[in-house]
Chains A and B, each alone.
Chain A
């Protein structure tokens, strides 16, 4: 039997940083025409490995082979010329330039005297875009495209090179389901062309949908490669975290108290219309729906970041108007925002100052900050939430995603809110910390908080919520009890296929 030559092969890669062995003898290979998932918790070494592959870090030992050639990549440009192309989670495009200029950035076709050959540029670009079957042309300004289409521009850029291996790093993080389908089609095309693909993602459903093999890293070490068809989520999770994970349904909705928050007929322009629901103390209300269904916008309205165009908000039975986050906080509504780093934390500040940020004003002694009281609060919530940090002086930017999220949660718990809203509480958090956050959310409800959890992950809402609100295009389609709902009915509801719509005759 002749062995296929791998498109890309890593052999015994070692990379150490002062005090840490970030990669310890990691080897794996990607075959041409294969989609190979690379999985591991945050800190398992995936990013370091990709930086080695991208020419950003030099390995201390080991070798990288592209086809039959051993390569040394000293710079990112060299990696690119060797045919290793990255599609990053964060896009790096010049938004004011056209699609064509972005795709050929640095390599614009030229005529005499250094003039740009625009015709050739646009023709070449349109040819590539045609292959991708996208709905925009070479002359479109990149800033006018959706995130998904911008990602297509990045992919098109990869296709201009003779790509041997394409690495997708969390490519679906900001895509809608429909956009995902388009992306997966493109990946299938690349695969058919014999390109090796490394697919990095935390989302199990995607991994099992499109990959051929899965390689798992843990603590910088290679933990094995399995064929996707021969394994399941549980087994992979166990490889990643070294133990089994609790992902059962939540069946404990019996500790409900009074209504803490009630919303009647709330609308905000085109974002969402006529939304009504209630949350009781001791209950977790899940909001499930597609990106753009209006879930985050409802949370932002409750938190005073948007003004509603109609409707009422009732807190403990009394109608309130919330004009600003300061208002919301004063009335006992707290929001753990979707974008932890962009909206929730001041990364350059230490843990303590982040945690007490909304209440330093209440803690002051005369005109001065009461640092002793702040440390006391930090210590209390560090212990209660099990936040792992060397001390309060640690900058929040240096913590792991899970611990950062706990700082945000601690920040709001220390304000003693009535209603706690968590928007995508486990986004970008590794599997181990994820289950800790889930457990924490359940505990908070048990302690009598009214909790709202917005999530795009079905297992998450099923696991933490007592009741699930399904949203579609700015409207609430249905509200389910989590132990009664079926996955099918939930998916139907969030796709706008609810029973209140007439079925299309065959």
Chain B
């Protein structure tokens, strides 16, 4: 038992150890390599890091539930782009012109509703057809992206509302608006997964779907709710990001699904479902953002960043496997 407990502790703590390692490495390496004379662990820099983590991080919370549930959602990047377009474009609709700044909450709601609906569509297909979520969302990833291009061709959709920009750029208690959203979502989903029946059932279904059915859990509707949650969060992520930037390209959000899945897996969620936790995902999100930022800090370009993150992902999974194998042997008597 002790060996199992040790490997468990190692696994849970691993992502945070990795973050500390990154901080130390980039602080030291930054002294010699960085072109800027600011320290890496400068407060403003760290606050910015949280803010920049938000778009991926908010979606990653939803992906954690969906993956614990034994599914996956590849369409989040495209949902993100659709929600962004609806957010910005709806603010210019004549029908909403009389609202003044009240157009903001209306546009937000429209974007969030669209995201939720797209997620519901994914979930409904998975539930009613029984087709693997990977295939369903691979299809909807392509389909949703097609809708994005149909809307405005290759052209960006832009609209700046300065009240909205002011709100998005505000800092409350030192933290940016986006950071507050990330923290709020993390807390809410953490509660959902650890304290509620829905969360408990998500683990049960991901671990043994047949046993969950036999226990009277309605698996189909449950999974659909999770797809709605991740659709909602992909839209929320877009709402938070584009409130500030005011312009969306039809390619925006591409590869988000892969970054999100990387963060979730780094955070210890099993790709086969049944195990994982929100706090780990939060760590995974921070670790990736730290890496991107840190490598930028010491002057590496984007391609290097991708290479390094890819290598680290594989290394983490190998390590995880090793720990798991050891844990199993110790339990067998």
Contact = CB atoms under 8 A, between A and B. Distances in A.
Interface of A: 17-20, 22, 43, 303, 305, 324-326, 328-330, 335, 337, 342-349, 353, 357-358, 360-361, 364, 367-369, 398, 411
Contacts of B211: 342-346, 357
B216 A358 contact: yes
Given A17-B333, A368-B196, A346 B204 contact: yes
B195 A326 contact: no
A364 B196 contact: yes
Given A349-B203, A349-B204, A337 B197 contact: no
Given A22-B333, A360-B200, A347 B208 contact: yes
B191, B203, B204, B211 pick with most chain A CB within 10 angstroms: B211
Contacts of B210: 342-343
Contact of A343 (B214, B275, B333): B214
A325 B215 contact: yes
Interface string B317-333: 00000000000001111
A353 B200 contact: yes
9 contacts: A19-B333, A325-B215, A326-B217, A346-B212, A346-B274, A357-B212, A360-B200, A367-B197, A368-B196
A326 B215 CA distance: 7
Given A360-B200, A368-B195, A348 B207 contact: yes
Contacts of B274: 346, 348
Contact of A17 (B191, B208, B213, B330): B330
Contacts of A411: 215
Contact of B3 (A18, A305, A325, A347): A18
B216 A20 contact: no
Contacts of B331: 398
Nearest to A339: B210
B200 to A, nearest CB: 5
A335 B200 contact: no
The 8 closest A-B pairs by CB, nearest first: A326-B216, A329-B216, A20-B333, A357-B215, A358-B215, A348-B207, A368-B195, A346-B207
A22 B210 CA distance: 33
Given A342-B208, A357-B204, A369-B196, A18 B215 contact: no
B207 A347 contact: yes
B201 interface: yes
Nearest to B199: A369
Given A348-B207, A349-B207, A369 B200 contact: yes
Interface in B211-259: 211-218
A324 B204 contact: no
B275 A348 contact: yes
Contacts of A342: 208, 210-211
A43 B331 CA distance: 13
